[in-house]
Amino acid sequence: MAQKPSTPKGTRDFSPIEMSRRNYIFDTIREAFRLFGFRQIETPAMENLSTLMGKYGEEGDKLLFKILNSGDYLKGVDQALIDNKDTVRLAAKLCDRGLRYDLTVPFARFVVQHRDELQLPFKRFQIQPVWRADRPQKGRYREFYQCDADIVGSDSLINEIELLQMEDMVFSRLGIRVAIKLNNRKILAGIAELIGAPDKLVDITVAIDKIDKIGIEKVNEELAERGLTPEAIAALRPILEIDGTGDERIAKLGALLASSPTGTKGVEELRTVYEGSLALGLNAELDIDVSLARGLNYYTGTIIEVKALDAEIGSISGGGRYDNLTGVFGLDGISGVGISFGADRIYDVILALNLFPDETAQATRVLFANFGQKEAEASLAIIKKLRACGISAEIYPDNAKMKKQIGFANAMNVPFFAIIGESELAEGTITLKKMADGTQMTVKADEVAGIIK
C-alpha cells in the first residue's frame, strides 16, 4: 500500500465530534455577536502581499505563507536575485499573494476598500481561519480560527462597556467562570511619564507584563537592564503594588497620576468602563490590573484580557481600543475598539472542565433498523415525517445483521433505535429502543415524533 497520506505539519482535520464541539463554541460566540448588533463579513483567504507585508514586524513577514505565482513565475525575475539566492527579496518576486495572518489587517483593508459603502459606526464580526508559518508546538497550530468583533468609527466608551457585556454573555453561556482584566494604555503612558521615562514606555510594559509570572523583583532587574534609572524603578513600585477593590485601585491611580494629563484621562476612561460595567452587572470577575499591557504598540486606550478561573491557561479572549486602524493604508481617523476570542483555547478549557453539553457527542436522534425493502420503505416514510418536525433521523442503509446495526447505533451515540420489522409492519407500529437504558416500547407511527422530542 502507498504511504499513508496525512495533513501538513501544524494543521489538523476536525472529526465529527470535534466539529460538533467547535460549532457549539462558534455558535455561542456568533449568537452573542448577533444579539449585540455585530454584522458578519468574510474576506478572502489570500490577500495581496502588499497588503500583508510590513504589518506584523520583520518576524511576522517571515511567518506569512506566500503563494507561488501561477504560470511562468520566473518571467521577469532579476537573474541576480536568483544567482545570489536572496530568498527574501526573491520571494517577493515569485509571490504576489499570501494567506491572511490575522483578521485585523484584512478588516482594515476591507474598511479602506469599501469605505464609500460603509455606514459608521460599523460593527463587524468575522470568524475565519488564519495561517502562520510558526514552528508547531502543543496548542499552537499553523491554521487556526480567530473570532473577532470590532466597532470602528465611534469613540464612545459605551462600546467598551458593550464589549465587556458580550464577553460576559459568551463565557456565561459556555459555563466558563472568568476574570476580565481591565487596564488603559493611557495609564501606562502616564506612568512612564510620571517616573521620568516616557521614551521607555514599551520597555516598561514588556517588563511589567511579566509580574504575574516572575514577580516584582525580577521585573525590576529587567527594568534596570532596559536602562531605567533606580529612581524610576523606585517610583514605579508603588504603582505596581496598588491593591484593594477596583474602586480603591482607581482612586489610588487617580491620585498617583494626578500630575499627568494623559494618565488622568486614562484613569477617567477606566472608571467609566468599570462603573458602567458594574452598573449593568457581570457574572465575570472584573479586575483592574495595571500590569496588563497586551500588544501595546497597537492599542491606545482600553485594554481587556479574559482568563479562565478554573483552568491554567493563558488568556482566552482579549482586545482593546486603537486610534488608527487604517492609517497604514492611507486612511486616517478611523478609530475603534475590538475583542477576539481564542477558539482553540476555549475548546481546551471546556474539554478539561467537562463542560461540553451531551448533545455535542450525539449524531442523529433516531436510527431506524433495516430489515429489508418493504420495512425500509415504511421506515423512510416515517423518517421523512420526523425530519419535517426538525428531528434528525436516518435508516441503516444496508440490510445487515441486527447485531451490526445495533453496534452502529451505539458507536454513533444515537439516543433512539427504531425497529419496523415484519410484525410492526403488519400492525402499523414502531418499536422504539432507548439506547441509554435499553428500555423498549411499541408505539404508533404518529406518536414517534412526540416521544423523541
The footprint of a copy of itself on residues 98-117 (CB under 8 A) is 99, 109-110, 112-114, 117
Task: Work out which of 93, 154, 268, 445 binds a copy of itself, going by CB under 8 A.
Answer: 154
65 binds a copy of itself (CB under 8 A): yes
**Backbone dihedral region of 57: left (phi > 0), alpha (psi from -120 to 50 degrees) or beta?**
left
CA distance 290 to 187: 8
325 binds a copy of itself (CB under 8 A): no
Cell 529612581 locates to 231
Phi, psi torsion values for 304, nearest 5 degrees: -130, 140
CA dihedral 253, 254, 255, 258 (to 10 degrees): 120
* Region from 119-127, 241-249, 256-264, 431-439 binding a copy of itself, contact rule CB under 8 A: 119-127
If 0-12 CB within 10 Å is exposed, 13-18 middle and 19+ buried, where does residue 373 land?
Answer: exposed
With beta carbons less than 8 A apart as the criterion, state whether 263 and 190 touch.
Answer: yes
Which x/- pattern, by CB under 8 A, does the window 133-152 give for a copy of itself?
A: x---------x-------x-
322 binds a copy of itself (CB under 8 A): no
Least separation in angstroms between residue 318's CB and a copy of itself is 21
The footprint of a copy of itself on residues 166-195 (CB under 8 A) is 169
Q: Which is nearer to a copy of itself, 220 or 300 (CB)?
A: 300
408 binds a copy of itself (CB under 8 A): yes
313 binds a copy of itself (CB under 8 A): no
Q: Which is nearer to a copy of itself, 97 or 252 (CB)?
A: 97
Least separation in angstroms between residue 243's CB and a copy of itself is 29
39 binds a copy of itself (CB under 8 A): yes
* Region from 231-239, 287-295, 408-416, 435-443 binding a copy of itself, contact rule CB under 8 A: 408-416
CA distance 447 to 129: 44
Beta bridge partners of 125: 40, 149
224 binds a copy of itself (CB under 8 A): no
66 binds a copy of itself (CB under 8 A): yes
42 binds a copy of itself (CB under 8 A): yes
Least separation in angstroms between residue 1's CB and a copy of itself is 4
Least separation in angstroms between residue 210's CB and a copy of itself is 29
Least separation in angstroms between residue 225's CB and a copy of itself is 31
Q: Which amino acid is at 333?
A: G
381 binds a copy of itself (CB under 8 A): yes
Q: How many residues does the chain have?
A: 453
DSSP letter (8 states) at residue 134: P
Least separation in angstroms between residue 405's CB and a copy of itself is 11
440-444 vs 317-322, strand pairing mode: unpaired
61 binds a copy of itself (CB under 8 A): no
Task: Work out which of 331, 353, 435, 445 binds a copy of itself, going by CB under 8 A.
Answer: 331
Least separation in angstroms between residue 363's CB and a copy of itself is 5
For a copy of itself (CB under 8 A), the number of binding residues is 108
437 binds a copy of itself (CB under 8 A): no
Here the cell at position 413 is: 451515540
Q: What does R_g of the chain's alpha carbons equal in angstroms?
A: 28
285-288 vs 95-99, strand pairing mode: unpaired
Task: Work out which of 223, 290, 376, 432 binds a copy of itself, going by CB under 8 A.
Answer: 376
CA distances from 400 to 372, 408, 412 (A): 9, 11, 16
DSSP letter (8 states) at residue 360: G
CA distances from 317 to 42, 149, 165, 180, 425 (A): 20, 11, 13, 9, 55
Least separation in angstroms between residue 11's CB and a copy of itself is 4
The footprint of a copy of itself on residues 386-405 (CB under 8 A) is 387, 390-399
CA distance 268 to 345: 33
CA distance 164 to 184: 14
Q: Which is nearer to a copy of itself, 260 or 370 (CB)?
A: 370
14 binds a copy of itself (CB under 8 A): yes
Q: Which is nearer to a copy of itself, 130 or 349 (CB)?
A: 130
The footprint of a copy of itself on residues 232-291 (CB under 8 A) is 276, 279-281
Q: Which is nearer to a copy of itself, 204 or 430 (CB)?
A: 430
Contacts of 87 (CB under 8 A, 6+ apart): none
With beta carbons less than 8 A apart as the criterion, state whether 103 and 51 touch.
Answer: no
Which x/- pattern, by CB under 8 A, does the window 70-89 give for a copy of itself?
A: xxxxx-------x--x-x--
Q: How many CA atoms lie within 13 A of 349 on its CB side?
A: 25
Here the cell at position 331 is: 486612511
